[in-house]
Amino acid sequence: MRHSDICILTPIKCRPSMVQTVTFPPSMASAKVTDVKRDVFDTSQGELNYLTSDQGVKISDTDNWLKVSDGTHVGPHLLEDQLGREKIMHFDHERIPERVVHARGTGAYGYFKVYDDRASKYTYAPVLTDPSRKTPVFVRFSTVQGSRGSADTVRDVRGFATKFYTQEGNWDIVGNNIPVFFIQESIKFPDFVHAVKPEPNNEVPQGQSAHNNFWDFVGLQPESAHMVMWVMSDRGIPRSFRMMQGFGVNTYTLHKPGGEQFFVKFHWIPELGVHSLVWDEALKISGQDPDFHRKDLYEAIENGAFPKWTLCIQAIPASKEHDFDFDILDATKLWPEELVPLEEIGELVLDRAPEEFFPEVEQVAFCTSNVVPGIGFSDDPLLQGRNFSYLDTQLSRLGVNWQELPINRPICPVLNHQRDGQMRHRITAGTVNYWPNRQEIFPPVPPKQGGYYTYPSKIEGIKERIRGEKFQEHYNQPQLFFNSLAPYEKKHLIDAISFELDHCDDPVVYQTYTKVLNCVDFELAKKVASNIGSIIPDKPGRENRGKSSKSLSQLYYAPKNPTIVERRIAILVADGFNLDEVHAVRSALESADARTFIIGPRRGEIHPSGAGRDAQGIEADHHFEGQRSTLFDALYIPSGQHINQLAKNGRVVQYVREAFGHCKSIGASGIAIAFLRDIVGLPGVEFQHEDSSDVTTSYGVVTTGKLDVKSASTHISRIEHDSK
Ligand code: HDE
């Protein structure tokens, strides 16, 4: 419900009745493997409703340590108290190392289903080709830079990691909400992460890249220019996880035995369209509600507005690998859709929140090396390194038996000769734990019977530390991206880079980065340089070739069927508001499945106009200080004598001005129009006359003199339509 081009109306029409929940009981279906507790996700605890120790002994007192007392004097603790020691010892060891990157995250369960078998021309993986399958998934969204306790709405890349529990084993797409990456080579990753993370001397800053070391690194590393443009664009501050695209980023392969191999990129397109916060709003939400994104995800799921994405692939036959002016294995480049169109394959739906954060979201472990038959790797040098790194990190984070944790277990049988190690849970009966063995226990499976098939490829060459020739070009695609943005998107990007470089106090850093920007676009470099006090370039560092690609702007993903489902709308009231209008607007909004919140001078009952103190009023969900305008998508102010009070309240005036500045839709009727016009003073806005029942929309401000049930719903559907 924002005006202008930053529409945040969303197209979801996904009611609970349309979506079945997939039950998800990873079990170890094998006669030879004994799993101590099969239904690992059974959290009902049976009929138990009492406290026990970890050994199952019922506890009579969990509040007092065992002590010696003579009735008047209470002596010191006894070491003997096995229950006290167990409780404290467990607590002492509650923390595990947080992820070295992507530490802050949120996850949810759901399912994936392909539309039909159209991908069978590329692969024989049933998860991508069998429409009768409903594959359970777990998705974890994350930020990259900040630690576990950092805020959700910081400017950063968002992780979008999906684990598919297929019948052939687990397949992970460990992706981001941006299609390219900062570096081409995995060996640079520790340098990149050290540069972006808080600086080593003082551990500053948290949850942002606005500091010398990050900009120093990317200034000396022009291959990062493309990704920097994306992160500084509105993509770096999504409105919701539900409104982000996802990208596998790396180039994978699909194949069928005997068929041609295809290079592929995976894309997730959100049904709701791609929407962002504005920067001022993101900054404020970081303080006002640091859990904004995780709450948004869980509330939407709880309300049955299940987030949905379409899985698309781009495929290039292996024979055409070298037909492009960029290297298709270079993760700092995307494949423009004009050259390689997207094919819609299937649908991902998230319909269940985790029940306990730690064993589900914190312990989930993704690995790019988790693939199933029919899906393979490419020689993308970033992917090659990732395949090593993720397994390695899970070993140090969760231990060698990380794959036995409930959230990481495949739903198909796991049978092999791996054994022992810390925290081994599985008990495998039998006398042999090696292959070959005389009993032929757990033999390998030939590809024809489902064994993993590695597509044969010829490799020859000279062993050396080298990158491909086309990897040397770094500026075409950042320029393509910049040229493809709408004017307001370009402005946001310039403002964001100016903000970040303003936080760098070393002139070497911001002057070097000005030169990088000048190789992307002359005007961009001049504007940023002038904002941050850098040396303003007098000629372009490189010609702008004027190429653009329509799918790079967020506008391209405007929802097909706009809707206000799950949008948060604040209705501002004080004593003396017009009750009929509030009922009318509320019921119109709620019948469109939006969420309304009454915001008043206090939490509790607010009395309508013309009513005595005892008359039935309306309960305010929050007071003006409790929930600021930043936490809502739109505001409505009804008419009534309450306007006198609202007009005297600086917080309310600021509330409305701020919402307008953040491009949100604002509705008002009757005397509230005068409040907007004369007190709040929204610049440039045209208002409807207070006596007219016509509706005027100007800069997203919707006003009408008289509002009733009928006009309220016409009004809402008009806003939905206009916001396309
Ligand atoms: Fe990661 N990355 N990464 N990364 N990454 C990790 O693995 C790494 C890269 C991404 O929700 C770590 O389990 C290397 C690209 C996501 O649990 C670690 C390189 C992309 C997540 C690691 C990259 C990603 C991670 C830290 C360069 C987008 C969170 C904890 C070669 C396609 C997954 C962990 C979750 C996490 C290494 C580059 C996405 C250290 C070495 C490119 C979404 O293993």
CA of 165 to the centre of ligand 1 (A): 20
Q: Please determine, for residue 67, whether its predicted confidence score (pLDDT) is greater than 50.
A: yes
Under 8 Å between Cβ of 345 and 119: yes
The one catalytic residue in 64, 73, 93, 102 is 102
**What is the three-class DSSP state of 590?**
helix
**Residue 385 beta carbon below 6 angstroms from any ligand 1 atom:** yes
**Which of 98, 99, 106 is the pocket-test mutation for ligand 1 (most atoms within 8 Å of CB)?**
99
> Residues with Cβ < 8 Å from 49, sequence gap 6 or more?
none
| Residues 491 and 395 occupy one common structural domain | no
* pTM above threshold 0.90: yes
Mean pLDDT of 207-217: 98
| Residues 133 and 222 occupy one common structural domain | yes
Domain-located, residue 67: no
| Residues 148 and 290 occupy one common structural domain | yes
Domain-located, residue 661: yes
Q: Dihedral sign, CA of 218, 221, 225, 227?
A: negative
Q: For residue 426, what are the CA distances in angstroms to 27, 31, 166?
A: 11, 13, 20
pLDDT tens per residue, range 135-176: 999 999 999 999 999 999 999 999 999 999 999 999 999 999
Which CATH number goes with the domain that contains 297? 2.40.180.10
Q: How confident is the model at residue 42 (pLDDT cuts 50, 70, 90)?
A: low
**Residue 181 beta carbon below 6 angstroms from any ligand 1 atom:** yes
Distance CA 148, CA 103 (A): 5
Distance CA 264, CA 539 (A): 39
**Residue 490 beta carbon below 6 angstroms from any ligand 1 atom:** no
**Tokens 């006669």 -> residue:** 31
Under 8 Å between Cβ of 336 and 379: no
Domain-located, residue 551: yes
Return the half-sphere exposure (C-beta side, CA atoms, 13 A cut-off) of residue 41. Answer: 18
Under 8 Å between Cβ of 7 and 719: no
Distance CA 43, CA 40 (A): 8
Q: Please determine, for residue 706, whether its predicted confidence score (pLDDT) is greater than 90.
A: no
CA of 325 to the centre of ligand 1 (A): 28
Which CATH number goes with the domain that contains 585? 3.40.50.880
Q: For residue 266, what are the CA distances in angstroms to 152, 250, 251, 524, 719?
A: 25, 8, 8, 31, 34
Distance CA 126, CA 212 (A): 48
pLDDT of residue 16: 30
Kind and range of the H or E element at 515? Answer: helix 507-520
| Residues 656 and 715 occupy one common structural domain | yes
**What is the three-class DSSP state of 478?**
helix
**Residue 159 beta carbon below 6 angstroms from any ligand 1 atom:** yes
| Residues 501 and 361 occupy one common structural domain | no
Domain boundary among 416, 438, 462: 416
Q: For residue 620, what are the CA distances in angstroms to 289, 541, 600, 623?
A: 19, 57, 6, 7
Q: How confident is the model at residue 9 (pLDDT cuts 50, 70, 90)?
A: very low
CA of 393 to the centre of ligand 1 (A): 10
**Residue 105 beta carbon below 6 angstroms from any ligand 1 atom:** yes
pLDDT of residue 45: 60
Mean pLDDT of 81-96: 95
Domain-located, residue 214: yes
Q: Please determine, for residue 418, whether its predicted confidence score (pLDDT) is greater than 70.
A: yes
176 tagged catalytic: yes
Under 8 Å between Cβ of 655 and 629: yes
Q: Please determine, for residue 371, whether its predicted confidence score (pLDDT) is greater than 70.
A: yes
| Residues 128 and 218 occupy one common structural domain | yes
Return the half-sphere exposure (C-beta side, CA atoms, 13 A cut-off) of residue 267. Answer: 23
| Residues 643 and 520 occupy one common structural domain | no
| Residues 540 and 396 occupy one common structural domain | no
Residue nearest to atom 11 of ligand 1 (CA): 140
pLDDT tens per residue, range 423-461: 999 999 999 999 999 999 999 999 999 999 999 999 999
**Biggest distance spanned by C-alpha atoms of the chain:** 93
Look up the domain containing 398 and give its range.
105-416
| Residues 158 and 136 occupy one common structural domain | yes
Domain-located, residue 448: no
Q: Which of 545, 599, 582 is nearest to 669 (CA)?
A: 582
- In this structure, of 132-141, 331-340, 371-380, 688-697, the range with the lowest mean pLDDT score is 688-697
Closest atom, ligand 1, to C-alpha of 160: 43
Domain-located, residue 651: yes
Mean pLDDT of 86-98: 95
Domain boundary among 368, 399, 416: 416
**Tokens 């920097």 -> residue:** 228
Torsion of CA 620, 621, 623, 629, to 10 degrees: -120
pLDDT tens per residue, range 276-331: 999 999 999 999 999 999 999 999 999 999 999 999 999 999 999 999 999 999 99
pLDDT mean across residues, the chain: 92
| Residues 127 and 231 occupy one common structural domain | yes
Q: Please determine, for residue 23, whether its predicted confidence score (pLDDT) is greater than 60.
A: no
Residue nearest to atom 6 of ligand 1 (CA): 101
Distance CA 585, CA 597 (A): 12
Domain-located, residue 266: yes
pLDDT of residue 19: 29
**Residue 100 beta carbon below 6 angstroms from any ligand 1 atom:** yes
> Residues with Cβ < 8 Å from 616, sequence gap 6 or more?
none
Query: Per the structure, how many domains does the chain have?
Result: 3
Return the half-sphere exposure (C-beta side, CA atoms, 13 A cut-off) of residue 617. Answer: 22
| Residues 586 and 549 occupy one common structural domain | no
Q: How confident is the model at residue 31 (pLDDT cuts 50, 70, 90)?
A: very low
The one catalytic residue in 3, 170, 176, 213 is 176
**Tokens 């029409």 -> residue:** 13
Q: Please determine, for residue 262, whether its predicted confidence score (pLDDT) is greater than 70.
A: yes
**Residue 716 beta carbon below 6 angstroms from any ligand 1 atom:** no
Domain boundary among 495, 529, 557: 557
Ranges assigned E (strand) in 20-134: 33-34, 67-69, 74-77, 105-114
Phi, psi of 599 (to 5 degrees): -115, 125
64 tagged catalytic: no
pLDDT of residue 6: 31
Under 8 Å between Cβ of 699 and 685: yes
State yes or no: 390 annotated in a binding site: yes
Q: How confident is the model at residue 180 (pLDDT cuts 50, 70, 90)?
A: very high
Q: Please determine, for residue 720, whether its predicted confidence score (pLDDT) is greater than 70.
A: no
pLDDT tens per residue, range 672-685: 999 999 999 999 99
Ranges assigned E (strand) in 495-591: 568-572
pLDDT tens per residue, range 482-536: 999 999 999 999 999 999 999 999 999 999 999 999 999 999 999 999 999 999 9
Q: Which of 348, 339, 330 is nearest to 241 (CA)?
A: 348
Closest atom, ligand 1, to C-alpha of 181: 42
| Residues 178 and 252 occupy one common structural domain | yes
Phi, psi of 90 (to 5 degrees): -65, -40
**Residue 510 beta carbon below 6 angstroms from any ligand 1 atom:** no
Total length of the chain: 724
DSSP class of residue 146? S
Domain-located, residue 440: no
CA of 390 to the centre of ligand 1 (A): 7
Q: Are strands 252-254 and 33-34 parallel, antiparallel or unpaired?
A: unpaired
